[in-house]
């Protein structure tokens, strides 16, 4: 079984070819063209511009993905595409391209929820590593630029939504605070780099850390950082300490709530997904807590945490094709809760 995956939900254009061999999902190619450097100039993603970049990149990226894989079009069994959530202009480029290819090449089309796709980065066989993938039941923590969700997976395609952010996502909080500190977009990796030189001294709030539900809230934390930046004399603000304090506050909340959910639902496996899963401190802290408790922790390699098409293709191995490819529609507001 060979799947071509396509991902265009935001500012990354991705195409990947994956093959399943003896139950192992192997990557043959994974091409990502990002317009992030362009977005960095403006401090964030401009939807119109991201969509225009998608149009420029989509065909070359698919061609490159196929070429690197060593397979020809006729070898591909299925096309998978991220259907949403995301920016409508960007999504339309991937979805309409995938529908067209499905029709012209006569291949089934599998629409994939981008958020579920993130979790499937954990099911990809990484070269030179032992083949270890999550089994069920498994708690899932999704921490991306737009989402912070806790989900209890009972099986492939069978999950219960436990809670999510009521306002900003963890990644969004990193990005917005980075902007306040004059750091480039995307802010998460920048804050994390700066945090390594600082200490958690600013005593920032840990929003909703004690609440009994599995919801999150990060907009108050962003406001606390904004207030500090505004009120503190420019020369007195130690940005590395502020970065370390912000990272510690976000990681504390994520770790605490995830561990509490794992204990409540008595799971012995946790998988983390999304761009913020690339964060070193989160890996370290969650790694330490899960080890103490004998819980197996899965976090994809950093390159599969941020948006890519390999995770979309990986998820598609466990999903069914659409009855009519032409009926597949881009859905910017697809969620895990619905």
Within 8 A by CB and 6+ apart from 5, the residues are 14, 15, 16, 17, 18, 79, 80, 81, 112, 309, 310, 311, 312, 313, 314, 316
Within 8 A by CB and 6+ apart from 172, the residues are 145, 146, 218
Q: Mark residues 258-277: x for contact with Zn ion by CB under 5 A, - for none.
A: --------------------
Instruction: State which of positions 92-111 bind ligand KG4 (CB under 6 A).
Output: none
**Near Zn ion by CB under 5 A, which window of 73-81, 150-158, 289-297, 301-309?**
301-309
Assess 83 for contact with Zn ion (CB under 5 A).
Answer: no
Q: Which does 189 bind (CB under 5 to 8 A by kind): Zn ion, ligand KG4, none?
A: ligand KG4
Task: Kindly report the three-state secondary structure assignment for every residue of 120-174.
Answer: HHHHEECCCCCCCCCCCCEEEEEECCCCEEEEEEEECCEEEEEEEECCCCHHHHH
Opening angle at CA 143, ends 139 and 147, nearest 5: 105
Phi then psi for residue 5, to 5 deg, are -105, 145
Q: Which does 248 bind (CB under 5 to 8 A by kind): Zn ion, ligand KG4, none?
A: none
Q: Which is nearer to Zn ion, 285 or 307 (CB)?
A: 307
Report in angstroms the alpha-carbon separations of 47 from 12, 20, 97, 174: 12, 35, 18, 20
Q: Which is nearer to ligand KG4, 119 or 317 (CB)?
A: 119
Assess 12 for contact with Zn ion (CB under 5 A).
Answer: no
Q: Which is nearer to ligand KG4, 25 or 282 (CB)?
A: 282
Assess 306 for contact with ligand KG4 (CB under 6 A).
Answer: yes
Binding residue for ligand KG4, selected from 153, 174, 298, 317, defined by CB under 6 A: 174
Strands 138-143 and 269-273: parallel
Q: Which does 62 bind (CB under 5 to 8 A by kind): ligand KG4, Zn ion, none?
A: none
Binding residue for Zn ion, selected from 29, 307, 315, 317, defined by CB under 5 A: 307
> Positive or negative, the Cα torsion across 105, 110, 111, 115?
negative
Assess 144 for contact with Zn ion (CB under 5 A).
Answer: yes
| Smallest distance from ligand KG4 to CB 322, Å | 23
Assess 5 for contact with ligand KG4 (CB under 6 A).
Answer: no
How far apart (Å, rounded) are the C-alpha atoms in residues 59 and 264?
47
Instruction: State which of positions 123-152 bind ligand KG4 (CB under 6 A).
Output: 144-146
Assess 90 for contact with Zn ion (CB under 5 A).
Answer: no
Within 8 A by CB and 6+ apart from 10, the residues are 45, 50, 86, 87, 90, 145, 307
Q: How many CB atoms lie within 10 A of CB 291?
A: 11
| Smallest distance from ligand KG4 to CB 222, Å | 12
How far apart (Å, rounded) are the C-alpha atoms in residues 149 and 3?
27
**Near ligand KG4 by CB under 6 A, which window of 59-67, 92-100, 171-179, 321-329?**
171-179
**Near ligand KG4 by CB under 6 A, which window of 42-50, 88-96, 182-190, 216-224?**
182-190
Assess 274 for contact with ligand KG4 (CB under 6 A).
Answer: yes
Binding residue for ligand KG4, selected from 278, 315, 330, 336, defined by CB under 6 A: 278
Report in angstroms the alpha-carbon separations of 24 from 68, 270, 283, 285, 287: 20, 20, 25, 29, 25
> For binding to ligand KG4 (CB under 6 A), which residues are involved?
10, 144-146, 171, 174-175, 186-189, 192, 274-276, 278-279, 306-307
> For binding to Zn ion (CB under 5 A), which residues are involved?
144, 307
């Amino acid at each position: 079984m060979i799947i071509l995956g396509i991902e265009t939900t935001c500012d990354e254009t991705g195409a990947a070819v994956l093959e399943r061999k003896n139950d192992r999902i192997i990557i043959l190619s994974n091409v990502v063209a990002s317009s992030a450097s362009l977005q960095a100039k403006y401090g964030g993603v401009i939807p119109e511009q991201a969509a225009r970049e998608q149009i420029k990149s989509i065909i070359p990226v698919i061609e490159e993905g196929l070429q690197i894989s060593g397979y020809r079009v006729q070898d591909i069994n299925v096309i998978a595409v991220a259907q949403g959530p995301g920016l409508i202009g960007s999504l339309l480029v991937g979805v309409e391209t995938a529908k067209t290819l499905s029709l012209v090449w006569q291949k089934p089309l599998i629409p994939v929820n981008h958020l579920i796709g993130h979790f499937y980065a954990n099911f990809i066989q990484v070269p030179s590593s032992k083949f270890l993938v999550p089994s069920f039941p498994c708690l899932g923590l999704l921490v991306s630029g737009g989402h912070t969700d806790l989900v209890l997976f009972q099986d492939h395609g069978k999950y219960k939504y436990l809670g999510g952010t009521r306002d900003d996502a963890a990644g969004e909080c990193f990005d917005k605070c980075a902007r306040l500190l004059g750091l480039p977009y995307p802010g998460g990796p920048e804050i994390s780099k700066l945090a390594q030189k600082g200490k958690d001294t600013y005593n920032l709030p840990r929003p909703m850390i004690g609440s009994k539900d599995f919801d999150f809230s990060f907009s108050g934390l962003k406001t606390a950082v904004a207030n500090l930046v505004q009120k503190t004399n420019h020369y007195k603000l130690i940005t590395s300490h502020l970065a370390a304090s912000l990272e510690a506050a976000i990681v504390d909340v994520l770790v605490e709530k995830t561990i509490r959910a794992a204990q409540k639902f008595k799971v012995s496996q946790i998988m983390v997904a999304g761009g913020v899963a690339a964060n070193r401190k989160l890996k370290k802290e969650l790694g330490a807590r899960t080890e103490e408790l004998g819980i197996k922790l899965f976090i994809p390699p950093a390159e599969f945490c941020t948006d890519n098409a390999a995770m979309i293709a990986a998820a598609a191995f466990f999903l069914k094709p659409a009855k009519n490819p032409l009926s597949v529609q881009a859905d910017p507001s697809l969620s895990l809760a619905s």
